[in-house]
Copies of this chain bind each other. A is one copy, B any other.
Amino acid sequence: MAVNRLKIGDLAFEADTKVVTIRYYEKIGLLPEPERTETNYRTYDTAHVERLRFIRRCRALGFSLDQIRELLTLTSDVGHPCDKVDKITASHLADVEAKIADLTNLANELRKISRSCRGGGTISNCRIVQAITPD
């Protein structure tokens, strides 16, 4: 009947997502329940593809599903002022920057620890263990 109706596997391919993940997004309300064929197969169209791609892109950018849910709500209202969207983005950026700072410290510590173990001793005199052990 309708042209261009996609099955779940097609949608998965289009949006580079796993089939199970799509069903999961539907279950938690991130994707709307699609129409079904007579034999109960889900069918999708390009709007679904767009929405799913948007979600996946946000995930790749590190947004949580809750943040994405909020972004989707905000962006569905065309007249909505967009400063809230910016706020979410900015707050997420701050999170990411904080995480980078943490990991950088951590990497420095690990480098220091790893340097302390050159020479192939045994555990009894291994400096790594001592470095990790708090005194």
Contacts and interface: CB of A to CB of B under 8 A. Distances in A.
A5 interface: no
Interface string A34-57: 000000000000000010011001
B85 A121 contact: no
Interface of A: 50, 53-54, 57-58, 61-62, 71, 74-75, 77-83, 85-86, 89-90, 92-93, 96-97, 99-100, 103-104, 106-107, 109-111, 113-114, 117, 120-126, 128-129, 132-134
A110 B61 contact: yes
A120 B57 contact: no
B133 A86 contact: no
Given A99-B103, A100-B107, A85 B134 contact: no
29 contacts: A53-B134, A54-B134, A57-B134, A61-B106, A61-B110, A74-B123, A75-B126, A78-B124, A79-B122, A79-B123, A80-B123, A81-B120, A82-B120, A82-B125, A82-B126, A82-B128, A83-B117, A85-B117, A85-B123, A86-B117, A89-B128, A93-B107, A96-B103, A96-B106, A96-B110, A99-B103, A100-B103, A100-B104, A103-B103
